Structure 1
Amino acid sequence: MFKAAALTSRLSQNGYDVRVMMTESAGEFVTPLTFQALSRNPVYTNTFDEQDPAKIAHIDVADWADLVIIAPATANVIGKLANGIADDMVTTTLLASTAHVMVAPAMNVHMYAHPAVSKNMETLKSFGYTFIEPGEGFLACGYEGKGRMEEPEVIMAEAEAFFSRRAHPDWNGVSVIVTAGPTRETIDPVRFFSNRSSGKMGYAIAGEAAKRGAEVTLISGPTVLPDPPGAEVIRVDSAEEMYHEVLSRYHRADLVVKSAAVADYRPAETFQHKVKKTDGTMNIEMERTTDILKTLGEQKEHQILVGFAAESENVAGYARGKLDKKNLDMVVANSIVEAGSGFQTDTNKVTLIGSNGMEKELPLLTKQEVAQAVLDEAARILKEKSQL
C-alpha cells in the first residue's frame, strides 16, 4: 500500500484531482487519513456514508472520474469486478463508472498464475480494462517472482499517456519512426569513433509520440536511457545498421523524425584484433557512410520527413540548406555551443524551419517541451497533407 500512497502523492503534485476509495482490508495497512492528506480530498471507505444528502456518493464519484486506477489490485477485487459483484465502496463505484479503468495487480506469485485469476483478468480485458503488468522480485509474502505492483512512476506515466492520447485523438494509428543517439564506427575490438550525443532529444520525441497514441518505432544508437513507454525500440551500433533498420520500415511510416547523430565517416579498414601501439603517429583512412536522411528524402512518397541540424555556427543558414538539399518537410535547428543547448543536456533551444516557409524560434525549453513543439508542428504538416 505504500506504493499506492506514493502514486497518490505523485498524481496530486502533478496537478491531477485525486479521490481515493479504500476497501476495509486496505485500511488495515494504511489509514484513510494518510490518503486524505496526500490527495487533499475526502477518502471514501463506506458505501452507506452519505455526507451530502443531495448526492449518492458512489454514483457521484463514478460519474466524476475521467480515469480509475486500481492500485494495488488484489485477486479478490479483480474477481469481484469480473463477476459483477458489488459489495463495498470500491466495487460498487467501479461497476457504476463509465470511466477508463487501469488495473495494477499485486499478489502472491502463485495466486497471480492461478487459472481463476488469469480468467478473471482476461474477462476484465474484454470489458476494456487495461492492465499494468506487475514486476518481478521479492514479494511481501516472502516469495520471489511476478506479482509485485508496478512502480508509481510507471503507473504515473501510463496515466499521463492516457490523457495525452485523449487530448490528441488524431495520432491514433499514425506510424512514426524516430532515430536517436550516436553511432559507433569500429576500429578494432577495443576502439571506435563516436560522438557526444546522449539520445535524450530523440527519446523525448519517441516517448511523446507514443503518449499521443502513435505507433512508434525508436531506432537507437548506444545510450544509457530507458526505453520510452509504448515505443518499440530497435538498438543498433553503427551507421550502416541504422541505415538498414530505417530503410526496412520506411515504406510503412507516416512520419520520420531523424534526430540521431549518425557518423559521417567510418574507418575504411577494421581489425579483428586490438591494434598495438607503435612509435610515432597513426593514420586511419576514413570513408563516407551512407547519408540516411538524404536517402530518405530521395525515396520519399507520402512520408513527412523531419531532420535535425546541430551546428556551431550559421545555424539557420546551414539548416535551410539541409532542408532543401535533403527534401525535408521540416528541420529542427539548434546551436551545439550555446549554453543549455545541444548534446547531453536536459534542455534545448531550437528553431523550427518548414518547407512551407514556416520559421519559429523557440526559447530555451526542456527537451520534453521541445518534443511537444516538434510534434505539434509535424501534426500541422500531416494535416495539410491529409494524413492526420
Structure 2
Amino acid sequence: FSYEVSRSLAACEGALLVVDAAQGVEAQTVANVHLAHKEGLKLIPVINKIDLPSSDIPGVKRQLEEILAIPAEEALLVSAKTGQGISEVLEAVVHRLPMPKGSEGEELRALVFDSVFDTYRGVIAYVRVVSGEITAGTPIQLMQSGRKYETKEVGTFSPKLTPGKRLGPGDTGYLVANLKTTAEIDIGDTITNSLKPAKEPLAGFRKVQPMVFSGIYPINSADFEKLKLALGKLQINDSALVYTPESSPALGFGFRCGFLGLLHMEIVQERLAREFDMEVISTYPSVIYEVHLTNGKVLKVENPVQMPDPSVIEEIREPMVTVYLLCPNENIGDLVAMVREKRGEVQKTESLDAKRVMLTTEIPLNEILVDFSDRIKSITRGYGSMDYEHGPY
C-alpha cells in the first residue's frame, strides 16, 4: 500500500513518527520515513510503550539519530496505554508543524487521498483542498478520468463526519457527489470545478495496477454465486481488487483475482471469511510477466494459458522488488544465503547499531510471494523484519 500511504502523506504538512520503545526502528519505519521526506513533511518522533519493562529509551533515541538522522532531543516519550505524554504530543502538533498552505483566489484543486463506500450516500471521497473552495452544489470534475458530478455535501472530520458549509484552501475533509462505486474515483486524482477547471492536476498521480494474482475457489462448489456476490461487495469498497471467472478441472468454478500485493491478498481472504462466512481455497499466487515479441509488441501475461508460442518470443521479463531486511548481526550470513537462493542479490549493507543490520536487496517478486516472511522470522528467531517496494521489470 505504499502508493496509498504516499497520497495520504501528500495531504499533510507533517506526521507523527511512532517508534516502539521495546522493538526500536523497524524496516517499515525506514521505508515510511523515506516516503515522508519525499513529500517534504515535518516529522515529530514519538517513542511509544515507555511503560513496558523491556523498553530501551536511550537505545531507541540512538537509532533515531544514527538510522533516520532525527535529533534525539526532539523525541516525545509516550505511553498510549496509560496516557502519559499524550498532551505533549497534541501541543507539539500545534507548535511544531507548519500551517496548511493554499490560495483562495485560484482555481479549485483538491487531492483525493482516500474513499469509502456508504450504503445510503454512495462513495464518500476524502480530500485535501490545495486551492479554491468546494461547497454543496459545486460542479466538480475528476481531472484524470474527466468524469463530472455535482457536490451534494461537504464536511470535516471531528473525528466523525461532520457536515459543513465549505472546504477552503488547506482544509482536509470529505465530499459526497453521487459516486456509485470506489472504481469511479482514483486515489491521487485531482478534483477541480468543471465550470472553471484548473490547467494542471496535482503531481504524483499513478494508476494503481494489481501485481499479484491468485485463483480463489469456494470449498463447496454450490457456493460459487455466494462467492461472486461477496467479491462484488468487497470491490465496491476496494477498487484495487479485480476478479474474473475461471474454472479448474480439479477445483471447479472460481475467480482469478488480482491484488496490489501480499498484504492486500491476505486482507481480502480474511474479509471473505469474517464478513461473508466464505470458506475458500486459494491457488499458488503468481505475478504479471512482460513478454517481448519478435515483432516489437509487448504482452502482459498473468496466466500461463496466455503465453504465446515460444517461436515469437524475444524475451520474458519479470517484476523485481527492492526488499529491506532488518536483522540481528549473527543472522546476516543465513539471510544473504536465502536471498541468493531466491535469485536475489544484496545491494547494500548498513549497520543500524551494535546489534542490528539492514540489508537492501533486489529479488524477483515471484520469489517472495510464499513463505519468505516466515523464513525471515524463523532464521532470526522472530527478531527480523522486512518491507518491500515495487521496482522495474
TM-score, with structure 1 as normaliser: 0.25
Name which structure has the greater RCO, CA cutoff 8 Å, separation 6+. 2
Higher helix proportion (structure 1 or 2): 1
Higher strand proportion (structure 1 or 2): 2
Structure label with greater radius of gyration: 1
